[in-house]
Amino acid sequence: MSTPEQIDLAKAKDPKVAARIVTNIAEIEQDYRLADGLLSEWLMRMIILSMKGAAPEPFVVENTAWSAYLSHPEWKPTKRIGRGDAWLEIVEYARDEQDHTWLAAALGAGPTELNLQLCFRDGLAHYFAKLQADQGLAAKLRKKGFEIDVAGKRIYLPIVVKADPLAKALPTDDFEEAMAPVREAVELGIAAKPEIDQLLKLVRG
């Protein structure tokens, strides 16, 4: 049995936890379905709209079946289809082996977080080694707001949506305040284009 399973089993055997779950199971099930379904989908739609509002031309925001990403024509090669050589994508990063909702990731609830992550296509997977070899460039990216996770080989901008503004936004459909962290991340990513261009040049050789 894995460590996460052992932890879950111990929690399930806790009398107080078991009693709380059994007593509130109807509410727990409905709340989880709403959080994982409608509310997470609604949140992602608002994230995409906020990204588009913060990204001036020629930057482009595209959405996939599960996420969204920010691209620039100069990051796309001329003879290859797809997202390009590099892009900034909305990703969920979990620090455990459990599935989490987009809602939990956006709020940083538990061991999960939402990031605007700098991604490269599979053929350019050596990008992180190139960055580690150029600490001056790494320092510039950090100065622009990027976090660099050496162990996870990630270059990203953290996004933490505050719970109170989001809770107020969902009933009113006014997401201006709640989506401020998304817009700020997009603006930081755009401001770091010279550094991303420099890294992409190193990666492309």
Q: pLDDT by residue (tens digit) across 162-181?
A: 999 999 998 898 999 999 99
Residue 92: Cβ within 10 Å count: 18
Q: What is the pLDDT of residue 80?
A: 64
Average pLDDT of the residues in 75-94: 86
pLDDT over threshold 70, residue 100: yes
Helix 40-54 with 163-172: angle, nearest 10 deg: 100
Distance in angstroms (rounded) separating the CA atoms of residues 147 and 108: 16
pLDDT over threshold 90, residue 128: yes
Asked if 116 and 90 touch (Cβ cutoff 8 Å), the reply is yes
Asked if 89 and 62 touch (Cβ cutoff 8 Å), the reply is no
The predicted model scores a pTM of 0.89
Distance in angstroms (rounded) separating the CA atoms of residues 2 and 14: 19
Distance in angstroms (rounded) separating the CA atoms of residues 117 and 162: 20
Strand partners, 116: 90, 157
Split at pLDDT 50, 70, 90, the class of 2 is: low
